[in-house]
Structure 1
Amino acid sequence: MNKVHLLVADSHDSFVYNLVEILRKCPNCTFDVVATEHCSSLTLENYQGILLSPGPGHPEEVKGLMPLIARTVHTHSLFGVCLGHQALALHFGGRLLQMPHPLHGHAERLSIKEIEGHTLLEQLPADSSVGRYHSWCVAEESFPNVLEITATALSDGAIMAFRHKTLPLFGVQFHPESYLSPHGASIVQNWLAGL
């Protein structure tokens, strides 16, 4: 794998530095962590990929997040985690639903879809479990045609992962950095391998 330089767009979530720890263990990866609201002033040409971090609230409430996606969606590989996943779906015309029962620290088994080409979930065991920490989810009824679902939750069918059909854009609703996601580091490494 070639050396890659990443931007971690920090939306002020306590999990951000758990993701950073996964990146620190990747020998061919360097990165800068920048608060999302300060990303508008960055020169982005030196970054091969952008990790859109988890964060509290609704993506449209996070200063700088939606403009960052609009600026980079055609020029960079993006990996959205939880809030970042939701923001990517919103960018392409998706809608979010507030869940009747928020899930925070909930272990979930995935139903991984068989899809050709690069996905973040390649080579994961079929019954992989992940950690859910969210009160919003991407609505399946308004799911954008340019995206394809790569995994759903076994318990409630919620969209857990997607990718763009033609661009290197990926989202996961769950937290790969959580102790409830034993294969989470592999998911991050799969994204890095595609850069």
Structure 2
Amino acid sequence: MILIVDNYDSFTYNLYQLVDIAASGRFGEISVKRNDDPSLLSLPLSSLKAIIISPGPGRPEDTNLCPELIKKAQGILPILGVCLGHQLLGSLDGGNIVRAKSVLHGKTSLVHHRAEGLFEGLPSPFKAARYHSLCIEKDSLTNYTVTASTADGEIMAIAHRDFPSFGIQFHPESFLTEGGEILIGNFLAKL
């Protein structure tokens, strides 16, 4: 089962649909649970193939049980954080969450990357939809490397140095994002 943790976001089921298309039934059920559902912490990790932390309003500290779930699963299961989920991964690594240079809601930016990992098969740069006013401060991460950014240096993606744990600041499920299905497929290839 692939677990998607919903941070009370209107995009969660768009993300679910994208994961469902990219998974093509290969990984069993895709389950969506809210970030305050007590069953999140009692799910046996052995029943999961991966965890995806959804976008959502607010700050990483508003994600209820997500930090505890990530700490429990880190290094055992592949984890993908999207937007708020990305910021949460950075925050748990000691990264500073700061105001973005520009508040972007429903706007696209060009994302530059090295065509590896989650970005294999995607052009660099590619257009990605952004819906955020916060971001991870550059040079504040300990165990994650920056794998994609905008031309002005805003962090758009991170990857853990030792574990299959990834964060993307943009929304792969948005019709404004080029290659969202490829990116999610690359994450699922880690399973």
TM bucket, shorter chain: over 0.9
Extract unaligned runs of 5+ from structure 2. none
Aligned equivalent of 1:45? 46
1-side partners of 2:31 and 2:115: how far apart? 34
1:100 is displaced (CA, Å) by 5.2
Gaps of at least 5 residues in structure 1 are none
> CA shift at 1:24, angstroms?
2.0
**2:32 is aligned with 1:33:** yes
- Equivalent residues of 2:14, 2:173 under 8 A apart: yes
2:134 to 133, 136, 150: 136
* TM-score normalised according to structure 1 size: 0.90
Could you say what secondary structure the match of 2:47 adopts?
coil
Equivalence map 1:1-195=2 (5 Å)? 5-25=1-21, 26-27=23-24, 28-29=26-27, 30-38=29-37, 39-99=40-100, 101-113=102-114, 119-144=117-142, 146-154=143-151, 156-195=152-191
Per-residue deviation at 1:36? Answer: 1.4
Letter in 2 for 1:52: I
Matches of 2:63 and 2:16, distance apart in 1: 20
Q: Deviations over 1:143-185 (max 9, x none)?
A: 22x211110012x310001101110001100000011102111
Structure 2 CA distance for aligned equivalents of residues 97 and 175 of structure 1? 19
* CA deviation string 1:84-120 (max 9, x = no partner): 10111111111100225311011111111366xxx11
- Alpha-carbon RMSD: 1.4
Distance in 1 (CA, whole Å) between partners of 2:180 and 2:16 is: 12
Q: Take 1:194 and 1:170, find their aligned partners in 2: how far apart are those partners?
A: 11
Counting matched residue pairs gives: 186
Structure-2 separation of matches of 1:114 and 1:100: 25
Give the fraction of aligned pairs with identical amino acids, expressed as a percent.
37
Instruction: Give, in whole Å, the separation in 2 of the partners of 1:121 and 1:52.
Output: 19
Q: TM-score, with normalisation over the residues of structure 2?
A: 0.92
SS across alignment from 1:50: strand
Asked if structure 2 preserves the Cα contact closer than 8 Å seen for 1:11 and 1:62, the reply is: yes
